[in-house]
Amino acid sequence: MPRYCFQLQVRPDRLDEYRERHRAVWPDMLVALRDTGWRNYSLHLRSDGLLIGYVEADDLAAAQQAMAATEVNARWQAEMQQFFTGLDGRGPDEGFLLLDEIFHLEDQLAHHGNPAPTPARRSGSETTP
């Protein structure tokens, strides 16, 4: 599944409130994200407001378009827009900067015929019964 990483800038004076808003995202927003194809979605926030997001989706543009068609997304974006800088009138979901993936451990291991261990295939100090 394709992986996407993006960045945004949260206003430094709004970091605490931004964090608080994400402690309890609206249940209908969570369901809409899931149902429109957003998978393994996470956000990471630096103390100066740099926000890095990671998401997996079969097609990010299609997932974004499907989210844009939901009523809950319109409400969420309207509330979240106030937390960001540099959007030039766009919503956060339209204004993020996609970053290019240049390395992925599991892809390179698999390329060299060395897949990553799964929980059932660990190595190390286990003993055989």
- Kindly report, residue by residue over 80-103, the tens digit of the pLDDT: 999 999 887 787 888 889 999 999
For the chain, the domain total comes to: 1
Q: Which residues pair with 10 in a beta bridge?
A: 84
Does residue 122 lie in a domain region?
no
Does residue 32 lie in a domain region?
yes
Instruction: Residue 65: give its domain's CATH number.
Output: 3.30.70.100
Q: What is the pTM of this model?
A: 0.82
- In tens, the pLDDT along 10-61 reads 999 999 999 999 999 999 999 999 999 999 999 999 999 999 999 999 999 9
Which residues are identified as catalytic? 22
Q: Which domain holds residue 87?
A: 3-117
Does residue 20 lie in a domain region?
yes
Does residue 35 lie in a domain region?
yes
The span from the CA of 42 to the CA of 30, in Å, is 12
Does residue 91 lie in a domain region?
yes
